[in-house]
Amino acid sequence: MSSSNRTGSGPLTFILTGIPGLPTSSYGMGVPLCCLYLLMLLGNCTLLQMIRTDHSLHTPMYYFLSMLAMADLGLSLSTLPTMLAVFWFEFTSLRLEVCIVQMYFIHTFSAIESGVLVAMAFDRFVAICYPLRYASVLTSSLTMKVGGVIFMRGICVVLPVAILIEKMPFCRSPVLSHSFCLHQDMLRWVCGDVRVNSVYGLTAVILTKGLDSLTILLSYVMIIRAILNIVSQEARAKAFSTCISHLCAVLVFYIPLIGLSVIHRFGNHLPPLTHTLLADAYLLVPPVLNPLVYSWKTKRIRRRILTLLCRSRTQQWD
């Protein structure tokens, strides 16, 4: 840690906050949070286990879905320690180094999830627009390479953000707006020139979520055009239904993300509760909802879950 971040009183610590208007240690919030995290772990781990053990699910679509589940797990587990510490144990102080590490993992897994959503949009684009070439275009080898590129992009793009902010001088006892560390939130407490940090942070967002959202939008413009050209109404409905799960995942991820980014830059006049709810929705809702949506809307996964439930009941009766 740079010397500019130290004083005679010891190392710099950030103060985390809970839900505005509620006590810092609130079992009314701690219990629902634990339930959300347990639901997230159960849903995503179940998806990963099913895809790993069921060879009929060893296709590009489900490989990308397993990458999405891993990104969701990483994103949620990055926030888990501090959120539970704040709401269960009233532990609100976090040293600079730990805060930077948490910030790095949150933004890295967020960028990875955004990239996986792009890969899934491309998968749906090829499946609907070029169905006869799907197997030859999206091979297992290409899928693994795409996954590797997505993970490396997230790791490398966010790393300079952590390095730059670690070297900045901070005001004493900075109070963050959330129960976890985000780059935009930490940047508010820098006592020096933040132009380089702000410009690179904005560039990183544009190179990841900005380009990703435009790519997904373009993919769906072409997908919708292809669906509308299908003569059979039944085939048209079937083609569109294959995109519903992915569209839900995209909306659940990007709507809170865009809202949070806008509020951090232009919404200083808004009540703190707005910042808190949007940040929590951005980091907690997608990992919980994605397994539920895909389990409900994807026939193969739904059939697999029903089969496992039937086997479990049969074994209980036996």
Q: What is the pLDDT of residue 7?
A: 46
Q: Distance between CA atoms of 85 and 240, rounded to whole angstroms?
A: 43
37 in a structural domain: yes
3 in a structural domain: no
Write out pLDDT tens, residues 6-26.
Answer: 444 567 888 888 776 565 555
50 in a structural domain: yes
Q: Is 226 exposed, middle or buried (0-12, 13-18, 19+ CB in 10 A)?
A: middle
Domain count, the chain: 1
Angle between helices 272-297 and 60-89 (to 10 degrees): 140
CATH code of the domain containing 119: 1.20.1070.10
174 in a structural domain: yes
1 in a structural domain: no
Which residue stretches of the chain are H helix? 27-53, 60-89, 96-129, 134-137, 140-166, 183-187, 195-205, 211-228, 233-266, 272-297, 299-317
Q: Closest by alpha carbon to 44, among 70, 75, 80?
A: 70
269 in a structural domain: yes
Six-digit token string for 254: 């990007």
Q: How confident is the model at residue 2 (pLDDT cuts 50, 70, 90)?
A: very low
Write out pLDDT tens, residues 162-172.
Answer: 998 888 888 77
Q: Distance between CA atoms of 119 and 131, rounded to whole angstroms?
A: 16
Domain that holds residue 91: 10-317
Count of Cβ atoms closer than 10 Å to residue 23 Cβ: 12
pTM for the model = 0.87
DSSP 268: T
43 in a structural domain: yes
2 in a structural domain: no
Write out pLDDT tens, residues 134-170.
Answer: 888 889 889 999 999 999 999 999 999 999 888 888 8
Mean of the pLDDT values across residues 264-283?
Answer: 72
Q: Closest by alpha carbon to 221, among 150, 124, 116, 147?
A: 124
Look up tokens 């969701």; give the residue: 72
